[in-house]
Amino acid sequence: MKKNFYYTVLYFFLFITTIAAQPKRLGHQEKKDTTTFNLIKFISGDFTYLNVDLFNNLYIITSNNQLKKMASNGDSVAVYNDIKKFGALSYIDVSNPFKILLYFKKYTSLVTLDQLLTFRNSINLRSKNIFNVNAVATSYDNNIWVFDERDYKLKKIDDKGTPISESADLRMITDEFPSPSAILEHNNQLYIYDENKGFFIFDYYGSMKNKLPFLHWKNPSIERNCIYGFVEQSLFSYELNSLNLQEYKMPDLMNTYSCIKAVNKKLYVLKKEGIYIYQIN
């Protein structure tokens, strides 16, 4: 009898301890019905792509295939004309404003530019035995992250494409195999985002640390300890410190955008007539 009582108490203690130790991944979700989006700037133009860096510089592709960098007031800063040299452009990474990364998926090629959009170099990933890549990003140490879906490894390469480090084969450490649309770097961690499986979080050594099950987010970004993403007519914000998830319902007038980005409490919306910049309050 005493033995059974002992095991009952022990089981209860272990159960409570396990529950308390589990990470609070999602936190409280709050819908911000009082949020306002105040239009502060409109930039007229026929653009096909938009991205924004942390200094509020805009990177747009024009209808005649020029990559332009503009200041937040719309003034032109720089132009890059060889946007079609490597085929159709798939992605522009501006997380490091001093090293702009262009990715051309069809030819598995990377091009790096400086802050004035001057050509620095190009990398043919196939020549480095990297063949299946959907997501790339610059690293804090001025190198490049790629996720190779042929062998399910996160790899860091230098400007010549030479491998520096790589993770273990993810098929050996998790039952879910990501096919990421984005790689985000923040505070010594990497966030690999798969729209159908969520965020896979790694340290700089390629070890998987955690997972956030936020699905179907478009244009995810990280800024000042917040992850942002868009689902239909809502902007979501997840605070990494407080674990608080907020939903900001966007006005109906934003429902026909072709590109959208949240940076520095501002919302950048690309529509057929130009770029609308809103202050988020």
What pLDDT sits at residue 23?
38
Instruction: With a cut of 70, say whether residue 47 has pLDDT above it.
Output: yes
Tokens 């108490």 locate to 9
Q: pLDDT over 90 for what percent of the chain? A: 67
Domains recognised in the chain with CATH numbers: 46-225+270-275 (2.120.10.30)
Strand order of the sheet with strand 67-70?
47-52, 58-62, 67-70, 76-80
pLDDT higher than 90, residue 3: no
Query: How much is the pTM?
Result: 0.84
pLDDT at 278 over 90: yes
**90-100 pLDDT tens trace:** 999 999 999 99
Binning pLDDT at 50, 70 and 90, where does residue 17 land?
very low
115-162 pLDDT per residue, tens? 999 999 999 999 999 999 999 999 999 999 999 999 989 999 999 999
Q: What is the mean predicted confidence (pLDDT) over 223-247?
A: 93
Q: Yes or no: say if 178 and 163 are a contact pair by the CB < 8 Å rule.
A: no
Q: pLDDT category, 281, cuts 50, 70, 90?
A: confident
- Residue 257 CA: distances (Å) to CA of 94, 185, 225, 276: 20, 26, 26, 10
Look at residue 253 and tell me whether its pLDDT is greater than 80. no
**Residue 6 clears pLDDT 50, i.e. is over it:** no
- Going by pLDDT thresholds of 50, 70 and 90, the confidence category of residue 29 is low
Tokens of residue 99, six digits: 């090293």
Task: Categorize the per-residue pLDDT at 173 as very low, low, confident or very high, splitting at 50, 70 and 90.
Answer: confident
Mean pLDDT estimate for the chain: 86
Q: What is the pairing mode between strands 245-249 and 29-31?
A: parallel
